[in-house]
C-alpha cells in the first residue's frame, strides 16, 4: 500500500514538473501597413529546444472570421517566432486578430484595429 502511494506521489511530481516548462506565448507584437497591406507578427516565446517546444500555429482573423491558419514545424529561434502575411482585404476600421499556439500548452490572442 505504501509503495502504491509513493508511486502516485512520484508520478504527480514528475508530471507537474514537465508542465512547468510548458507555457503559452508571452507577447505578440502586431503591425499592419495599409500601404503595403502587410501584417508583421513577432510572437515572443522563449524556449530551450525549438524542435520540441515551439509556436505550432498562428491564426489570423479579420472582423471575427478566420482568414488564414499557418502551421509551423519549429520556432525560428529560442526567443520568438516571426511571420509576415499579406492581408489585401483589410481596410481602415477593420479589426485583425492574431492567435499564437504553443506546441505543448496554451495560446495568446492579440487584436489590432487597421489604421
| Domains defined along the chain, listed by start | 23-113 (2.60.40.730)
Note the pLDDT tens digit of each residue in 60-73.
999 999 999 999 99
Q: CA 74, CA 77: separation in Å to the nearest integer?
A: 9
Output the pLDDT for position 66.
98
Sequence-distant (6+) residues with CB within 8 A of 98 are 28, 30, 39, 41, 58, 59, 60, 61, 109, 110, 111, 112
Does the pLDDT of residue 51 top 70, yes or no? yes
- Mean pLDDT, rounded, of the chain: 89
| C-alpha cell of residue 22 | 510548458
Cell triple for 68: 488564414
Output the pTM of the full model: 0.81
Q: Is the pLDDT of residue 16 over 70?
A: no
- The pLDDT value recorded for residue 4 is 57
Amino acid at each position: 500500500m505504501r509503495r502504491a502511494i509513493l508511486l502516485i506521489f512520484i508520478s504527480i511530481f514528475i508530471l507537474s514538473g514537465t508542465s512547468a516548462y510548458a507555457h503559452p506565448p508571452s507577447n505578440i507584437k502586431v503591425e499592419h501597413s495599409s500601404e503595403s497591406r502587410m501584417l508583421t507578427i513577432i510572437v515572443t516565446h522563449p524556449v530551450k529546444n525549438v524542435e520540441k517546444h515551439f509556436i505550432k500555429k498562428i491564426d489570423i482573423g479579420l472582423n471575427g472570421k478566420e482568414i488564414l491558419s499557418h502551421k509551423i514545424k519549429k520556432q525560428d529561434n529560442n526567443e520568438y517566432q516571426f511571420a509576415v502575411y499579406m492581408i489585401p482585404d483589410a481596410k481602415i476600421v477593420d479589426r485583425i486578430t492574431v492567435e499564437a499556439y504553443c506546441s505543448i500548452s496554451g495560446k495568446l490572442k492579440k487584436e489590432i484595429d487597421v489604421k
